[in-house]
Structure 1
Amino acid sequence: MLDDTDRRLLRHLLADPGLGTAELAERAGITAATGWRRLEKLTAAGVIKAQEAVIDWRRLGYEVEVALRFTLDKTEPRAFDEFLAAARLVPEVTGIETFLGRVDVRLTVIARDMQHYADVYRSRILMLPHITDIEALMLIATIKDAEALPL
């Protein structure tokens, strides 16, 4: 599906998402017009889903990041839908993922400090519906955080 030119474009896009089309094309060794057409084709095919800003929450004063793993009450038919709808309303929740297996849902929660986290946990997280079990994993360090593929 992808040829070497597409792979070069994607590698440069992943390395520096802020580059304009002309600069990406130049680095990939093609004309700007060719680069634009190929990027449009990759976007239309769903290979490129979006270009987005990545915000460093720590620089904005959020020092605590916790992954919470939930097991939900599977005897309740609306448990997943109601839990997910309520979790989306918690401003400190920056990520929601669902799983098959022992864990049903994982939420990523940020907080300014441990007191803020404790307040969010007690007043918002514990109020989410249909929880049967919660496990907390506090982030200590991020060793690798890349969405890049070996192109």
Structure 2
Amino acid sequence: MTSPDQLVPGERSDVSVELIEVGPDEAAVVRSTYVRIWEPLKAHGRLEWSDDEWSAELSHPAIRSWLARVQGETAGLLELEVSVDGEVGIVVFGLVPAYQGRGLGAAFLTRATELAWQLGRPTKRVWLQTSSDDHAHALGNYKSRGFQVFSAETQ
């Protein structure tokens, strides 16, 4: 996405998604949330990371992370990576299984993308990546919010 005008907001959910920024002190809850999201998908990524590895990640100055909360319960995870050249990557984005299929993904991605556009210096591009390990509806949500496929790889 090369302009915030390209964002197509998702429909508002009946349930409000609150984003709480987290840092290295919350490494254990971030790790646990990540595992809850990606373990059922048989994804690889950071499933084996320790709390110390998560703490180091969350300490990096280019990394900003948020927990998505619904009625006080942790429902998802967002990590943005801000580069010095004005690009912001949505490098971690997902909902835990109990919150999938409830219409929250579109609203959550809308808010994540809005945050990404606000973090740059100035922001020139917001990007994300997906894989066949992600939820079956992930790519459709990304495209519906206005993201376009930039490249594709087969491994």
Tell me the TM-score normalised to structure 2 length. Answer: 0.29
Structure label with greater radius of gyration: 1
Q: Which has the higher contact order (CA 8 A, sep 6+)?
A: 2
TM-score normalized with structure 1 length: 0.29
